[in-house]
A and B are shown apart, each in its own frame.
Chain A
Amino acid sequence: MDKAIYLDIELCVGCGACAIACMDQNDIYPEKGQPAFRRIYRIEEGKFPDASIRYLSVACMHCEDSPCVVGCPTGAITKNDRTGAILVKKELCIGCHSCALACPFGVPRYDPDEKMEKCNLCTERVEAGLEPACVRVCPMGALKFESPNKIQGVKESKFVSNMVTAVHRAGSRQ
């Protein structure tokens, strides 16, 4: 896989700009019953005054080994060789919901014609050298479009730097 969309949940504030940018990019109109590709969740934990809140912005994960691709009986779901995006050929979709059963994340949704709809990784934008619309808009920089190993590298160096700081602080206290 080349690049993937990552969500840094430490940075996400659940504003929903990504969901709207996605609807703008993909001409999705909820009032027509068209399902959003990206959805926002708000999860509260604990009780006042010690409660905390987390936000998540969720869309198709474009899995490397996609259960939906395997599950689709008509071959409507395929993997794009260039971007790694999992794409739906709507003309082949028969609305059987096999993909819904297969997907561990609950991603597939169906339009009023019972055709499956989901995030297409902004394939045309990515092929033109642009970021996906949701990543571009994110005011907190919580959504990133990067190669998985590079993201992991950034995460790792942040962890290492925090650990060094903690060790240093502990040392200076003694």
Chain B
Amino acid sequence: MNFKLTEEQELIRKNMREFASKHVDPIAAEIDENSRHPAELFQKLAEGDWMGMPIPAEYGGAGADYLTHIVAVEELSRSCASTGFTVSIHVGIASMLILLFGNEDQKKKYLIPLAKGQNLGAFVLTEPGAGTDVMAATSTAVLDGNDYVINGTKTFTSNGPTGGTYLVFAWTDKAAGRKGMSAFIVPREAPGMRVGEHFKKMGLRSSQTSEMIFKDCRIPRENILGQAGAGMAMAMAGFDHGRVGIAAQSVGILQAALDESIRYSKERVQFGAPIARQQAISWMIANMATDLAAARWLTYHAAWLKDQKQPFSKEASMAKLFAAEAAMRHTVKAVQIQGGYGYIKGAKVERLLRDAKITEIYEGTSEAQRMVISGNVLR
């Protein structure tokens, strides 16, 4: 078993680290404080081919394998979880779904600009009444002549306010149950779609999240993605990819928490010695480092399985579940280690803790992950 990254993957991680130090670290606190989407940063990410890493070159991407993209998301999230997340949604769900299920015309028209980072992709599934219970959705898409007409309200759409290409899920045949939902590519200009309420969040504040309101939103019928009724299956495939991305994001947050904890505990002197010498602290750090290693290898393994073209739903869920809960658990400890200083705005661990919480909720709550995993294991 080869547990080493390739030289290319190591170089790419290094380059992302340098990029993040230079372009992300200096603004991470500000874009969190002001809930700002840094368009100029995403422009730079696009220039470095970071917005379409696993997309084949013929569709505008860099043609890397998925693990390489995951390593980059981890490294980016280590500097800013919001930025890492935005890239993950854009690449791992929106772009991947078009790659996997789109036809040639759709790939040329929508995937190439996404892979080049010319606009942001969004995944539009969740509704006010349909979170974990996806089937409780009420949005509909009705065929009317040469168009589909979408009606409904979606919520908690990441990249909602800033998106350019939206993958929207709606019922085309409610009676068909699980085989009755379809997916559609909805460009920003489509008439009848508008951004609704903009949410002010506890964490991940630079990522823009909103409602999306569809009132007789018209799109050409050729914008249906894949087969009519295959929406649920495609959403599941989307989640598999997205969850590995969130796991990577959580690993990045964990790594940042560990970096901060090591640095602080070596420098902070109480009772005449650095607090790293106190067992209470050193054990917290030992636990953090151990869970980080476990989370990282679960994540890399899931990505590796996908690159081997093997099924990876269970592993993606396990990685996401474990990494998210570890990130939450240990960012709490990281603040504890820094005491009062960790509680103050401006301390990196203060932001890490607020950012970590959402990883246990979105892209399938930890509870939903347990459903997936137990469903798989108890078959």
Q: Do these two chains really belong together in a complex?
A: no
